[in-house]
Structure 1
Amino acid sequence: MLPTAPRLGRTGPRLGRTVPLLHLVLLFVATAGALLAGATPASAHAALTGSDPKQGAVVQQAPEVVTLQFSEQVSMSDDSIRVLDPKGKRVDTGKLRELGSGGTVKYGVGLHSGLPEGTFTVAWKAVSADSHPISGAFSFSVGAPSQTSVALPEQQAGGGTVGTLYDIARYVSYAAFALVVGAAAFVLACWPRGVAVTALQRLIAYSWVALAGSTVALLLLRGPYTDSGKLADVLNLGLLGEVLNTKTGAALISRMLLLGAAALFIVVLFGAYAKREDPAEKRDLTFGLAVGGGVVAAGIASTWAFAEHASTGIQTAVAMPVDVLHLLAVAVWFGGLTALLVALHRAPADQPVGRNAVRRFSRLAFGSVLVLVATGLYQSWRQVGSWNALVSTAYGQLLLVKIGLVVVLVGLASISRRWTARLTDGGAHVVEQRAAESAPTRDAPADEPVSVGAGSGSGAGAGSVESARPSAEDAPEPEPATEPTPEGDDSDRDEDPVRAAQLARQRAAVAKAGEKRVRDADPDRSGLRRTVLAEAAVAVVLLAVTTVLTATEPGRTQEQVDKAGAAGSVVASGPVKIELPFDTGGQDGKGTLRLELDPARTGANTLHVYAERPNGKAFDLPEVKLAFTLKAKDVGPLPVAPDRVSTGHWSSTGVQMPMPGDWQLSVTVRSSDIDQVTVHKNVKIG
C-alpha cells in the first residue's frame, strides 16, 4: 500500500520527516510486486492461428502430417509437437518440419501409418520471437470421436512459481535500470554536487547490484520458464546451455558484459569525478562520462529491444531503435525523479538542492516526456492496430490505464514546477534564520540562546548544534543518567566508556534533530518533496503496468486470432463443475443438478449429470436434456442427450466442443409428464 502524500497546504515538522533510503527503494518495488503477484501467466505475442486437421474436426482418413500455423515466428524443437492416440501413446515421428512459405509461419510433424480410429490429441509448445513461452493442445478424430485417456498438464507455459519469479526478476531489472541511468543523469546534468551525497551514491550502487542480480536470475530461470516449469531445474546445466544458444540468452549475456562497463562508469563517477576541483577538468570529465555512460545505457536498453516485442512484428528496423529511445526516456524521467526525491530528503542541510538543479531536472524531464509521447504513439499504433482493439483487448485496456497514469504524472509534475519557482538558492543561511526564529519558542526558554547549525549528519558541524534541544517528536527517549563522578576527578569521567557512549548518542541525536529542523524550516522545499514523492508513487504503478503490458498479447495479434477463428492456444484449465437449482413447478419438483464437464476444452469431453433432492438424496428424474450455444459466433444450440447410468446419474462421452469461448449451457429437466423447466448457465471452454 502506497503512503498518502500530505496536502500541499500543510506545514510543520512532520512534513519534512526524513525518509530512509531503504524506504524509498522499497516504495519503488512494493506496489509493482503486489501487481505482479496477482497477475496471470504472461500472454505471448505469437498465437496459433490455424491447424490441419482443424480443432475438433472429424476426418475419414488419418492425415500424414499435422501442421500448426502461427501469427508470427516461433522457436520449436523436435519435441515441440506431440500427437497422442486415445490411449495416450505417442504416434508422431518426432521430426519437426518447417512448412512456412511466403511469410506464413507453419510447422508440422509426420504421423505413423496405420492409425486406429478415435480421438487424437495434439499437444504443442513453443517460444515466440519476443521471448515469451506459449503452449496449447487440441484434438481431432479419425472416423468417429472416442474416449481418450490423455492427461495434459494443467499449468500454462510461463506460469506457476517459476513464472512468478521470472516476472518479478523482469520488473526488478526494469526498475534497477531506470534507477541507475536516471540517478547518474541527474547527478551529471542537474546537480554535480550530488556525487558526494552518500544517499545518492548508495542509490546508484544498490541499483547496479539489483540489475546485475536480476539479470543472473533471469538467465537461470529462463530454462525452466520456457520448458519444464520446475524450480528444481534452475541449476540444470543442460537447460542453461540451451538458453545460451537462444536470442534471449545472448541478450542477457550481453547485458552482463555491459554491466561491467557500467561498474567502471560508477567507479569513475564516485572517484575521479567527485575529487576534481578544477572547473575545466571537471567539464571535460563530465563530457566524457556523459558520452560513455550514454553509450553503455543505450547498449543495455538494446538488450530488451533485441530480445522482446520490438524485435517481432512489423517494421522491426524502426521499432528497435524507437524502443531503445523509449526505455532511455523512461529511465531518465523515473530514475531522475527518484534521485531528486532522495536528494530532497537526504542532502546535507548546508547544501540543499537548489532551484537551479531542480529547474535543470524539470527541463530534462520535459524532454523525456516528449520522447516518451512520440515513441509511445508509434509503439501503440504498431501493437494495437485499430481503435476497436484499443477498447476490446486486454492490451488496449492496459494501454489506456498507462496513458491515464502518464496524464496524472504530468499533472503532478506541473505542481512540482510551481514549488520549484518558489525555491531559493541562497544556501543554508536562509533556512537557518527561519529555524532560529522559531526555535526559542519551541525548544528552549526565551531567555536561553539557541544556536542551530547545519550539521551534515556525519559528525561535521555537530558542535554547532549541541546547544539546540530537540523537540519531543524529534529527540529520542532520554537514557538513565549514570552516577556523577566526584568533582575534579576528570580522569574517571574520561575513562568511563558507558558515559562516553551515552554522550556520543545524545550528541548525534541532537545534531540530527538540528539538521532536520533546519530542513523543515523551508516550506517551499517541503512542498516540493511532497509532490515529488507523489510523482514517485505514481511512477511505481506506471512502471508495473508497463512491465505487465510487455508480457500481454498485443491487440493486433489478438485480432488476427479472432479473425482466423483459431483454437487451442490455451492449455486445458481442468474440469468444470457447476450446480444448478431447479423447480419444475409441480409437486416434488424441486432439486439441484450437479454437472461436471471434463476437461472443458475444445474437442471431445465427458459429461456427468447428478440430480439431488433438497434432502441430498438422489433424484430419479424422467428426463434430462442439455444444449450448448456459443452466441458470440452464432454456433448452436448443440444438443446433448446423456444416458442414464444409475438413479440420479446421467453421463455422456465424446461431447464435442468445436471452439473455445463462453458457451451457454441450457438444461431441460422434467419431473413428471407435464412439469418441466429449463435452466441456463454460462460455461467457459478453453
Structure 2
Amino acid sequence: MTATAPRFGPSPVRLLLAAAVLIGTLLGALLAGASPASAHAALTGSNPKDGAVVATAPKEVTLTFSEQVAMGNDSIRVLEPSGKRSDKAKIRDLSAGGTVSYGVDLLPGLPNGTYTVAWQAISADSHPVSGAFTFSIGAPSKTTVALPDREIGGGFVGVLYDIARYASYAGFVLLAGGAAFVLLCWQRGASVRPLQRLVVQGWVTLTAATLATLLLRTPYTGSGKLADAFDLGGLRDVLETKTGAALISRLLLLGAAALFVAVLFGAYAKREDEAEKKDLTFGLAIGGTVVAAGIAGTWALSEHASTGIQPGLAMPVDVLHLLAVATWLGGLAALLTALYRAPSIERAAVRRFSGVAFTSVVVLAATGLYQSWRQVGSWSALTGTSYGQLLLVKIGLVVVMVGVAWISRRWTAQLGEATASAQEPTEANAEEAEGAEEAADSSDRERAAQLARQKAAVATAQKQKARDADPSRSGLRRSVLAEAGVAVVLLAVTTVLTATEPGRTEEEAARTGGSQAAATVPEGPTEIKMPFDTGGRNGKGTVRLSLDPATSGANEMHVWIDTPDGKPLDAPEVKVSFTLKAKQIGPLPITPDRLTAGHWSSGAVQIPMPGKWQVQVTVRTSDIDQTTIDKNVKIG
C-alpha cells in the first residue's frame, strides 16, 4: 500500500501564489516610488578642466570625486602628446571639508600641446572605476598617445579574484549553514564524520579564499599582474582601505569560528547529559550566530550595502540576507550529506529543517525585496540593466528551489521513523569485534579480529542496501540533490550580482536604446544617426552627430535633434561623451553650446588618439524624461 503524504495547513501552491502577489504588489509600489541614487564614485571636477587651454604648464593636476575613493601612486597618469608620462607618479590626498580630491605633481618644462589625464580608482563599494580627459598647454595639438594595455578588474587576475569571491561565499554557506543544521535540526549529527568534514571544509575554503582575495586585491585594482599579489607595499596599501580592513576582520572572526567548530564537534558531540547538552546548545547557538553575523558583516561593510541610499539600514538588512542564504543553502548541503553519507537520519530532523528553510526563505524574500528596490529602483532598470536581469535570474532560481523543496516536503512526510538500529552500523559491530578479540586465544586473536571486521563490513553493506531500497528516502535524496544543483548556480549568480554595477547607476549612465554596431567610416568628416526615446511625452526622435575632421586632435562637432516627422526638437539638455574602451580612456565629457532650436555645436572636441570610440549622447526632454544612447565609430 502506497503511503500518502499528509497535508500541513494551507496548500503550498496557494501559499506561493499569495506570496507572489504580495511581493509583486510591494515591488511595484517600491519601484514606482524610487528616487535616483549613486553607488559608484564619479569624477565631479578637475583642475585644469576638461578641454581647457592654459597659457603655461600647471604645477599639478587635481581630480575631485563624488564620494570617497582609494587611489595608488599609479592611479593618475598624465601623458604628453608624444605619449611620454609627464607626472611624478606620487598621488597626494587633498581632501578637506567633505570634498574628496586627489592631485599629482607634473614634471617641469612641459612642451606645448594636448595632454591626456587617465585615472583609475576604487569606489567606496570596492569596485574599480576609471576615466580620462584632456587639457592643452599653449594651444591644442594633434596627439598620438599610446597607453599601455591594462585590464582594471579583468584579465586572468580578474578571473582568479572572481573565483576567490565565489569560494568565499560557498565556504561561508557550508560553515554557517552546516553548523546551524546540526544545532537546530539534528544534534546527533555533531558526531557524524561526513557532517564534520563538510563544516570543516567550509571553514578551510572561506579562510583560504579570504587570504587569496587579500593577496589578489593589489593586482585586481592596479596593474593586473599576478606577480604583484606578493608586493608587500601593495598589501600595506590594501590594508589601509575599507576592503582590506573587512578582509582582516573576517580572518580574525574565522579564528573564533575555528574555536566554535572545535567545541561543536568535540565536547558537544561527546556530551550525553541532556540538561548539560541543552545549555551548551543554547550557548553555541548564541555564539555561533554572533560569529556568523560578524563574518556576514564584512561583506555588508565593504560592498554595495555600504554606499548609496540608506546605508545605515541596508547593512544590517544585508547581514540578515546573507545569514538566511547560508542557513538555507548550507542546511541543504548538510541534509544532502546526511542522506548520502550518514547511515540514517530521523524524519523529525528532516521536518525541522523544512521549518528552518521556510523561515529562511521568508527572511530572504523580505530582505531581497528591500535590496531590489534600493539597487534597481525602477521597472526599466529591472529589465534593461545587467544588474536587473541577473536579479530576475536569481529570483527565478529561488522560485525553482522552492518548488523542488515542496516535492522534498512530500517525500519527508513518507519517511519512516528511524529505529534504534539506525545508529552507526559500525559501532555495534565494533563492540562485537572487540568481544570476539577478548574471547579468542592469543594465537587466534588476529583471525578473530579479521572475521569480526568482515562481519561488520557485511552488516554495513546490508544496511546500506536496505536504506537505498527505501523509495521515500531515495525520492528525498533525488529532490534534495536537485535543490543543491540549483543552489550551486544560484550562488554563482549571487556572486556575479555583488560585483555588478547596481541598476540605478547603470541606468543613469546609459540606457540601452542605441545601436551598438560599429560604424566604419573613412578618415574625414563623419556623421552618425541614433534614434532615441526618453519615455515621456514628445520624447521620441533622432540624434544626428557630425565630427569634422574625425581624426585625433582638435575636432568640430555638431548635434542635431529631430522629431519623428523631421522637425527640430529643442531639448532642454544635451550632453556628449567619447570613450576609448580598448585603451581605458574616457569618458571624455562634452557639453555642446545651443546654436538654434534643435542644433548644438562644440569647436573644442579633443580626441587624444585614433581608434574605435564609443560616442554617447544624453538627451533630456523634460525635468524627468532622459535617456542616453550610444554608437561606436572609428576615428582617425
Distance 2:252 2:554 in 1: 56
Deviation at 1:140, TM superposition (A): 4.5
In the alignment, structure 1 residue 382 sits paired with structure 2 residue 374: yes
Change (3 A) 1:630 1:158: farther
Q: Secondary structure at the match of 1:89?
A: coil
| Match among 635, 638, 647 for residue 546 of structure 2 | 638
Say whether the 8 Å CA contact 2:83–2:147 is kept in structure 1. Answer: no
Letter aligned with residue 472 of structure 2? D
Secondary structure in 2 matching 1:83: strand
Residue 142 (structure 1) shift: 5.6
Q: Quick one: which of 406, 410, 414 aligns to 1:418? A: 410
SS in 2 for 1:533: helix
**2:151–2:224 contact (8 Å) kept in structure 1:** no
Corresponding residue number in structure 2 for 1:659:
578
Partner residue of 1:39? Answer: none
Q: How much does 1:628 deviate?
A: 3.9
8 Å contact from structure 2 (residues 165, 209) kept in 1: yes
Task: Provide closer, same or farther for how the CA distance between residues 283 and 463 of structure 1 changes in structure 2, counting only shifts above 3 A.
Answer: closer
Segment of structure 1 superposing worse, 227-236 or 265-274:
227-236
User: Could you tell me which amino acid in structure 2 is paired with residue 546 of structure 1?
Assistant: T
Partner in structure 1 of residue 171 of structure 2 = 176
Q: Distance in 2 between matches of 1:232 and 1:366?
A: 46
| Aligned: 1:544 with 2:492 | yes
What does the per-residue CA deviation read over 1:626-681, in whole Å, with 9 as the maximum and x for residues that have no partner?
62415157554425669xxxxxxxxx55485952499899xxxxxxxxxxxxxxx9
Choose which of 299, 313, 319 in structure 2 pairs with 1:318.
Answer: 313
Give 1:529 shift: 0.9
**1:48 corresponds to which letter in structure 2?**
A
Is 1:84 paired with 2:51? no
Check the 8 A contact 2:191/2:270 in 1, yes or no.
Answer: no
Q: What RMSD over aligned residues (CA atoms) do the two structures have, in Å? A: 3.9
Work out the CA distance in 1 between the residues paired with 2:455 and 2:482. Answer: 34
Match for 2:213 among 210, 218, 242?
218
Per the alignment, residue 333 of structure 1 pairs with: 328
Whether contact under 8 Å (2:175, 2:330) holds in the other structure is yes
> Unmatched 5+ residue regions in structure 1?
1-8, 10-43, 430-453, 466-489, 564-575, 581-594, 596-606, 610-623, 643-651, 666-680
- Which protein has greater RCO, CA pairs closer than 8 Å, 6+ apart? 1
Asked if the contact 1:162–1:221 (Cα under 8 Å) also holds between the matched residues in 2, the reply is yes
1:57-78 per-position Cα deviation (integer Å, ceiling 9, x unaligned): 4647578575545453312356
Residues 1:505 and 1:134: Cα distance change in structure 2 (over 3 Å)? farther
Deviation at 1:416, TM superposition (A): 1.1
How many residues matched? 511
1:239 aligns with 2:234: yes
More deviation, 652-661/222-231: 652-661
Shift of 1:82: 2.3
- Quote the residue 1:48 is aligned against: 42
Measured after TM superposition, the shift of residue 128 of structure 1 is 1.0
1:561 Cα offset (Å) = 2.9
CA contact (8 A) 1:169 1:217 kept: yes
Q: State the one-letter code of the partner of 1:244.
A: L
- 1:515 maps to a residue whose letter is K
Residues 616-627 of structure 1 aligned to structure 2 (within 5 Å):
627=526
Contact conserved, 1:51 with 1:66, CA < 8 A, in 2? Answer: no
**What TM-score comes out, normalization by structure 2 length?**
0.71
Q: Report if aligned partners of 2:328, 2:361 keep a CA contact under 8 Å in 1.
A: yes
The change in CA–CA distance for 1:507 and 1:69 in structure 2 (over 3 A counts) is: farther
Deviation at 1:100, TM superposition (A): 7.7
Answer whether contact 2:578 2:614 (CA < 8 A) is retained: no
Aligned to 1:130: 125
2:578 touches 2:613 (CA, 8 Å); kept in 1? no
Among 257, 274, 278, the residue aligned to 1:279: 274
1:398 aligns with 390
Q: Which has the larger radius of gyration?
A: 1
Aligned residues of 1:409 and 1:538 also touching (Cα < 8 A): yes
1:535 corresponds, among 483, 489, 497, to 483
1:292 counterpart residue number: 287
Contact 2:141 2:554 (C-alpha < 8 Å) held by counterparts: no
Amino-acid identity (%): 62
Q: Deviations over 1:444-463 (max 9, x none)?
A: xxxxxxxxxx7946475489
Kept after mapping to 2: 8 A contact 1:82/1:90:
yes
Q: Take 1:384 and 1:316, find their aligned partners in 2: how far apart are those partners?
A: 15
Alignment check: 8 A CA contact 2:151 2:223 kept:
no
1:629 equivalent to 2:528? Answer yes
**Aligned partners of 1:157 and 1:664: how far apart in 2?**
19
The structure-2 alpha-carbon separation of the partners of 1:271 and 1:313, relative to structure 1 and needing over 3 Å to count, comes to same
For the pair 1:516 / 2:464, whether they are aligned, the reply is yes
What is the aligned partner in structure 1 of residue 506 from structure 2?
558
SS at match of 2:366: helix
Q: Taking structure 1 as reference, are residues 255 and 463 closer, same or farther at Cα in structure 2, changes over 3 Å only?
A: closer
User: What pairs with 1:23-102 in structure 2 (closer than 5 Å)?
Assistant: 45-48=39-42, 50-52=44-46, 57=51, 59=53, 66=61, 68-77=63-72, 79-92=74-87, 96=92, 98=94
Q: Alpha-carbon deviations, 1:183-208, whole Å to 9, x = none? A: 11111110111111110011011111
- In the alignment, the residues of structure 2 paired with residue 380 and residue 684 of structure 1 have an alpha-carbon distance, to the nearest angstrom, of 38
* 1:199-210 paired onto structure 2 within 5 Å: 199-210=194-205
| Whole-angstrom distance in 1 between the partners of 2:152 and 2:454 | 58
Map 1:354-503 onto structure 2 (within 5 A). Answer: 354-427=346-419, 456=424, 458=426, 460-461=428-429
Q: How far apart in 1 are the matches of 2:155 and 2:326? A: 30
Structure-2 separation of matches of 1:77 and 1:231? 17
The offset of 1:116, in angstroms, is 4.8
Question: What is the DSSP-based 3-state SS (H/G/I as helix, E as strand, rest coil) of the residue aligned with 1:659?
Answer: strand
The answer to whether the 8 A contact 1:631-1:663 is kept is no
Residues 220 and 235 in structure 1, CA contact (< 8 A), matched pair in contact too: yes
- Structure 2 residues not aligned, in runs of 5+: 4-37, 434-440, 533-541, 558-576, 581-611, 616-630
Instruction: Label 1:283 to 1:653 Cα distance change in 2 as closer, same or farther (>3 A).
Output: closer
